[in-house]
Amino acid sequence: MKIKNYINGEFVNPILDNWIDNYNPSNGEIYSQIPNSSDIDLKNAFKAAKNAFPKWSETTLEKRSQILSNIAHLITEKLPELAAAEAKDNGKPLELAKSIDIPRAAANFQFFANAITQFASETHDSVGLNAINFTLRQPIGVVGCISPWNLPLYLFTWKIAPAIAAGNCVVAKPSEITPMTAFLLGEILNEAGLPKGVLNIVHGSGKTIGQAIVAHSEIKAISFTGGTQTGAHIAKVAAPMFKKLSLELGGKNPAIIFADCNYDEMLEATVRSSFANQGQICLCGSRIFIEASIYQKFKTDFITAVSKLKVGNPFDSTSDLGALVSKPHLEKVRSYIDNAAQYGGKVIFGGNLVSIHNFESGYYLEPTIIEVKDNSCVLNQEEIFGPVVTIMPFNNENEVLAMANDSSYGLSATLWTNDLKKTMRISKQIHTGIVWVNTWLLRDLRTPFGGVKNSGVGREGGLEALRFFTEPKNICIKYN
Ligand code: NAD
């Protein structure tokens, strides 16, 4: 099967007829091909977007909102098909795709369908000067959206929905590792009545078509989610062109567990925050710090709980963990486990490949717990992005705060305590963009989302996303 680019409302082959193999991680087989798009394909996608912009940017908010709502409804209607495609393309459990990925993709469109009707701008009455200022929030024009493989449709739509809601036209590129649901979205866009050219989807490798989108002189804003190194490279290319940039990058998130927390809730959530989606969520808590007085109990109970997780083929409804996304990624994750001792860690649970009956060539790995002694070790400093967490004890609040902040990343943190003062002290002092207290991954789409330090710049979510995808223009009128 061949996946096609979606340009000007039509499905087209890459002009140079170059293709990339697409793997099914559950069995290691190549099951489709995707366009390895070039500059020529980008030229066509850009042209379509540019032509669509004058009309789309002047389309009423009600109309735009209605179309986004239509898209949301169609995604919901086609949930079984989209979830199955996501599980096959990514290796994630089908149940997870059904309950999280696809519903969230629909919610992204529905949220911005509503949000755009409430997006207002400011006026400033220059009292005593007989002048009034008002600020327009105008769409930027053609913008670029580039997304990663871990939550394919979820993150792809998280960018596209606010971009088009705000009146922009888009050239978007999903990850070449998980292109399928973005491809299926094209059909939905047509059915929903999105005018041709408003959203164009080009497939291919980051180094060619991704790079070309970023370097395109007339694509004025780039919303990117992916690795920190890629983000740094994108910033280097885009900065001299003064593009607007939103970069959502990697993380190495601390989970801080105090003895005074609600223990059972914490344990259940910590298993999820460690291993959901095979640990391939940028928000997973991968450095777990436990107050010394409950460390031994936690260690025993955590191992017991994790040992109950079932690694299985993604289509088996009893699988808690599916396959990792690709062979190279599996090898990268394994290299951290294999070298754990050298990095000062001790594997206390898991660490082995798993062979699944009838899926023997898939990329399966046990959920893995490594005990470390020092937060400065490689295992606590580098993003592994797989089903691997570290645990270590701490003695007091200052010590754990220092360790949590001793990281080049600053995406999210999870805090488990029932002490309100401690909650406030730590939440204020921790260097992350997001803090969850006594919960994990509870998302309200109105809230700002993003990280500090090497986890990125800019915020997405709610009105922040609409601000990013618009350019403020102040108009000052003098009257006598
Ligand atoms: P990646 O950086 O390899 O790729 C992300 C996207 O960028 C892909 O579409 C890729 O093709 C494209 N790309 C690669 N090189 C490019 C270039 N030179 N120019 C333009 N585009 C290019 O990341 P990945 O491996 O797909 O995703 C995993 C990473 O994403 C992890 O580090 C994870 O933490 C991060 N992530 C962050 C968030 C967040 O919200 N902060 C969310 C999910 C994932």
Convert the pLDDT of each residue in 10-59 to its tens digit.
Answer: 999 999 999 999 999 999 999 999 999 999 999 999 999 999 999 999 99
For atom 16 of ligand 1, the residue with the nearest CA is 206
State the catalytic residue, choosing from 248, 291, 383, 460.
248
So what's the pLDDT on residue 480? Answer: 87
So what's the pLDDT on residue 132? Answer: 98
Distance CA 371, CA 390 (A): 5
Convert the pLDDT of each residue in 211-267 to its tens digit.
Answer: 999 999 999 999 999 999 999 999 999 999 999 999 999 999 999 999 999 999 999
SS3 content of the chain, % helix, strand, coil (to 5): 40, 25, 35
216 lines ligand 1 (CB under 6 A): no
Query: What backbone torsions phi and psi does residue 288 show, to the nearest 5 degrees?
Result: -105, 120
210 lines ligand 1 (CB under 6 A): yes
178 lines ligand 1 (CB under 6 A): no
Mean pLDDT within 305-329: 98
Convert the pLDDT of each residue in 372-428 to its tens digit.
Answer: 999 999 999 999 999 999 999 999 999 999 999 999 999 999 999 999 999 999 999
Are 71 and 64 a contacting pair, CB within 8 Å? Answer: no
Spatial CB neighbours of 197, under 8 Å, sequence gap ≥ 6: 8, 9, 48, 49, 51, 52, 169
Distance CA 352, CA 319 (A): 17
282 lines ligand 1 (CB under 6 A): yes
Contacts of 16-24 with C-beta under 8 Å, sequence gap 24+, read 16/40, 20/176, 20/203, 20/204, 20/205, 22/89, 22/176, 22/177, 22/179, 22/180, 23/177, 23/326, 23/327, 24/88, 24/89, 24/91
So what's the pLDDT on residue 329? Answer: 98
Mean pLDDT within 147-156: 98
Residue 148 Cα, ligand 1 centroid: separation in angstroms?
A: 4
Which of 348, 350, 355 lies closest to 323 in space, CA to CA?
355
State the catalytic residue, choosing from 261, 282, 284, 377.
282
37 lines ligand 1 (CB under 6 A): no
Does residue 282 carry a catalytic annotation?
A: yes
Say how many residues make up the chain.
Answer: 480
Q: How many Å from the N-terminal Cα to the C-terminal Cα in the chain?
A: 69
Residue 423 Cα, ligand 1 centroid: separation in angstroms?
A: 32
Mean pLDDT within 282-293: 98
Mean pLDDT within 298-315: 98
Neighbours of 129 (CB within 10 A): 11
Distance CA 335, CA 122 (A): 53
Q: Is the pLDDT of residue 279 over 90?
A: yes
Element (H, E) at 253: strand 253-257
So what's the pLDDT on residue 273? Answer: 98
Does residue 261 carry a catalytic annotation?
A: no
The DSSP symbol for 464 reads H
